[in-house]
Chain A
Amino acid sequence: MASERGGAPSGVLCIYFRSNTGGEAVSDLPEEPLLEELPQADLERLLGQLKEEEEHAQRARLSSVESLKAWVAKHPTLQQTTLMESIALYGPAFLELLRRALGL
């Protein structure tokens, strides 16, 4: 059963997000009801998994940045450039730039 805005069936957790906050989740705003049909236990597991997937994704991305630095440091031509500083400065954004430049 779909709940009306501002009310939730018992045993169901409503989470609301403040719009345009850049990702900060808050639980007390009566706007944009989210996941209102989802049992609280499921919601907790979903959010837990979501965070876990993202932690691994971030870890992989940072590992790749370090990897790119290691490759540049060994490359006969690139090691003589300022690329290391650029990669260190921009981090994952540099990898994204390279991906775009390669058209991948």
Chain B
Amino acid sequence: MSGPKPAPLDLIVKAAEEEFNRRPPTICVIGLSGVGKSSTINAMFGTHKRVSATTRGTNRFRTDVFEIVSQRMEGAAIKCALRVLDAPGLGEDVSLDENYLSRYRHHLKDKACDMVLWIVAARNRALALDQQYLTRLADVLPNVLIGINQVDLVEPLNWNAGINMPSREQDKAVKEIVEDRHAKLSKCLRGQCKTVAYSALKYYNLQSLFAACLDVSPPDRRWMFDLLKSFSTHDWLNKAKGLSAAQKQQLARAYIKSDEKISAESLPG
């Protein structure tokens, strides 16, 4: 009796390419204007530096398709796309918001999104609009992740730039903010949700946000986001202004294992 034939690498590469083309990994990012939706996507996927973007829709509701062109040594370059649904102007004008919400609803109802990331700014205590919009979309929202961005701007505004972390005072405030925002926003949803505080600008807690993003996306689609991930713990550490390059290197050697270069010998042939 013959077993399954060994699969050449080409087979899975071709299948992965087809999957990216058939249905690109898609993020629906929702949040009021100015909370850092674009900077969050840029930080996680490098969409500001290594892609060509095509935008469809009105200039205030966008379906951005970021084509991340591969740099293959052999064969034709592959375009792996990341799709981002975004309404950059949400919350600026209530009369326009109706249109944005119906567009979000349309996409969510079609189950066209792998994950929904709802972003609020850490300093913003006024949650009425977020609560209202969450409630209105709750019936079409899958598992949603709430991201609390810009923790570096939390009072008393004394971010510890030396170690690229919140000061102790900010840390305490952030914990209270997470508890408060989670309670106020999750009650608008029909299911459970997770809340993660982070700073896209500082890359602080971004690994936690990314891992939580994977948790809310379909189990058989998470690998696609991982392949497009464009940051590492180095990015956070490198922004610690109080450390020399040598110190950062030492810390990285000792503790950063997640994006270690894998030696050729350890890779399958």
Contact = CB atoms under 8 A, between A and B. Distances in A.
Question: What is the interface of chain A mostly: helix, strand, loop, or mixed?
Answer: helix
Interface in B178-229: 204-208, 210-211, 214-215, 219-223, 225-229
B126 interface: no
Interface in B66-94: 68, 70-73, 77-78, 80
Interface residues of A, number: 57
Contacts, number: 177
28 contacts: A17-B254, A23-B257, A34-B247, A35-B243, A38-B243, A46-B165, A49-B236, A53-B236, A56-B210, A57-B210, A57-B232, A57-B259, A63-B211, A63-B214, A64-B223, A64-B226, A66-B219, A74-B220, A78-B7, A81-B11, A82-B5, A83-B11, A93-B262, A96-B267, A97-B268, A98-B13, A103-B72, A103-B78
Given A42-B160, A93-B268, 12 more contacts: A35-B243, A53-B208, A54-B256, A54-B258, A60-B229, A61-B226, A61-B258, A63-B214, A82-B4, A90-B268, A93-B266, A104-B68
Interface of A: 17, 23-25, 32, 34-35, 37-38, 42, 45-47, 49-54, 56-61, 63-68, 70-72, 74-75, 77-78, 80-83, 86, 89-90, 92-99, 101-104
